[in-house]
Amino acid sequence: MTRTVHYAAAKDYSGPEVRRALAEILPPVLAACGGVKGKRILLKPNLLFCRRPDDPATVHPAVITAVAAALREAGAGEIVLLENPGTQTVRAVVDRMGIAETLSASGVFFDDFADYRERPLPDACVFRSLKIAREFEKFDLVADLAKAKTHAMMTLTLAVKNLFGLVDSAGRIGWHLAVGSDFERFADLLLDLYLTVRPRICIVDGIIGMEGNGPGSGTPVERNFLAASDDALALDASVAEKLGVPAGKFLLLRRAARRGLEFAFEDSGAVPPVRPFRLPDPPGILNAWGVILPPFFKTQLRNLVGSRPVLRKELCIGCGRCAEVCPPRSLKMGREKRPLFDLNHCIRCYCCQEHCPKGAIVTRPQLLTAFLSRMIKLVRR
């Protein structure tokens, strides 16, 4: 099915300019998802962090408030802004942006994601379950507000990558490290989030994007557009093309194509010309934090930070099912018919845990993960 991606030009972030641009692209998207009258909307902007009110690492505050106001005018019921910024709270970010009062005056509640629980994923997913913020299940629609930015691992971060914010901070570090040497797995994880959360109101802020060393420390660059669609993957495919990254060169879309996911699009409105972003260095020697690390250290870090499968010996009956389903065969049956884990090659898919008939495999966070979670909470207080 071909999705429409709507574009509007916007020369800057002044209120009237952003509102006019949104008035061009938002109504058809809201119509495509059956309208918002009386519906509960989860607003999920990319709020990586905020060093100054118009920090290009985040969706611009003028876009966030204008989207909230437009949804309210369209008759939305409850609107809640939830996010999990890297090292700050949502409260700190919106305060720094100077929009806390505006949001409150529009009746928009804002907070951090907090309800992280393991959730089974739909059949089309590669991963079977994922520990993510479950709040999205309580809303009728998810509005995905992304920034057009470069990204060291994924080349670009747009609407699909924005959903990675539903993974908790310590888990994000763990996932980055767990898939740090296998970017296809990371793309699969993002696609699984897309299939699970299914945001229907998707907007990319490309008025000022970020090129070069994104997603946190790149160079602001004017592209002067807002784009919107009712499908995040089609929106990403269209916007990536305008930023000089065609589908064949965008790992996320290559994986999507291989998995049979559709992202055909047709553009509408003030379609911007193709003006390529200056892209980050090719991934491979850069790890997820932008630090050059040899593979050995990356593996050790993954083993220190990521959760790991652990055997509860007293429950194991030695049936070998776990070894049969382990995709990289990093789990083998030992001499005493007990599973042996090779954590250096374990990809943390937790298939063994899911398929064990006796519940003899559990996942345990590493001590460092627990320590990091604690530190993150302290820092964000």
CA pair distance 148, 144, nearest whole angstrom:
13
Query: Measured in whole angstroms, how far is the alpha carbon of residue 85 from the centre of its chain?
Result: 12
Nearer to ligand SF4, 149 or 321 (CB): 321
Shortest Å distance, C-beta 334 to ligand SF4: 10
Q: 10 Å Cβ neighbour count for 52?
A: 9
Question: Of 7, 113, 175, 341, which one interacts with ligand SF4 (CB under 6 A)?
Answer: 341
Amino acid making up residue 103: L
**Residue with tokens 């989207």, as numbered in its chain:** 67
* Interaction residues for ligand SF4, span 298-317 (CB under 6 A): 309, 311, 316-317
Question: Of 64, 148, 203, 352, which one interacts with ligand SF4 (CB under 6 A)?
Answer: 352
How do beta strands 108-112 and 79-83 pair?
parallel
Amino acid making up residue 195: L
- CA neighbours within 13 Å on the CB side: how many for 231? 18
Shortest Å distance, C-beta 314 to ligand SF4: 11
Nearer to ligand SF4, 15 or 334 (CB): 334
Nearer to ligand SF4, 106 or 366 (CB): 366
Inter-helix orientation angle 15-32/61-73, to 10°: 50
Query: Which stretch, 9-17, 263-271, 295-303, 325-333, contacts ligand SF4 (CB under 6 A)?
Result: 325-333
* 348 lies in the binding site for ligand SF4 (CB under 6 A): yes
CA pair distance 139, 232, nearest whole angstrom:
17
Q: To 5 degrees, how large is the angle CA 304–CA 307–CA 311?
A: 110
Shortest Å distance, C-beta 381 to ligand SF4: 33
Would you give the binding string for ligand SF4 spanning residues 45-84, x where CB under 6 A is met? Answer: ----------------------------------------
Query: Which stretch, 7-15, 117-125, 274-282, 328-336, contacts ligand SF4 (CB under 6 A)?
Result: 328-336
Shortest Å distance, C-beta 303 to ligand SF4: 12
Question: Of 54, 320, 362, 371, which one interacts with ligand SF4 (CB under 6 A)?
Answer: 320
Question: Of 108, 330, 369, 372, which one interacts with ligand SF4 (CB under 6 A)?
Answer: 330
Question: Of 167, 233, 346, 372, which one interacts with ligand SF4 (CB under 6 A)?
Answer: 346
Residue 262, H or E segment: none
* β-strand partners of 44: 144
Shortest Å distance, C-beta 333 to ligand SF4: 7
Tell me which DSSP letter residue 307 carries.
Answer: -
Residue 288, H or E segment: none
Query: Which stretch, 23-31, 159-167, 168-176, 341-349, contacts ligand SF4 (CB under 6 A)?
Result: 341-349
How do beta strands 129-133 and 331-333 pair?
unpaired
Shortest Å distance, C-beta 311 to ligand SF4: 6
> Helix %, strand %, coil % for the chain, to 5?
40, 25, 40
Nearer to ligand SF4, 102 or 330 (CB): 330
Query: Which stretch, 1-9, 200-208, 270-278, 321-329, contacts ligand SF4 (CB under 6 A)?
Result: 321-329
Coil vs helix vs strand at 368: helix
Q: How big is the site for ligand SF4, counted in residues (CB under 6 A)?
A: 27
Coil vs helix vs strand at 180: coil
Strand positions, DSSP E, the chain? 3-9, 41-45, 79-83, 108-112, 116-120, 129-133, 141-151, 155-157, 201-211, 219-229, 265-269, 308-311, 331-333, 339-341, 361-364
Shortest Å distance, C-beta 110 to ligand SF4: 36
Query: Measured in whole angstroms, how far is the alpha carbon of residue 169 from the centre of its chain?
Result: 12
Shortest Å distance, C-beta 295 to ligand SF4: 17
CA pair distance 189, 183, nearest whole angstrom:
10
* 321 lies in the binding site for ligand SF4 (CB under 6 A): yes
Residue 91, H or E segment: helix 90-97
| Residues near ligand SF4 (CB under 6 A) | 309, 311, 316-322, 326-328, 330-331, 339, 341, 346-352, 356, 358, 360-361
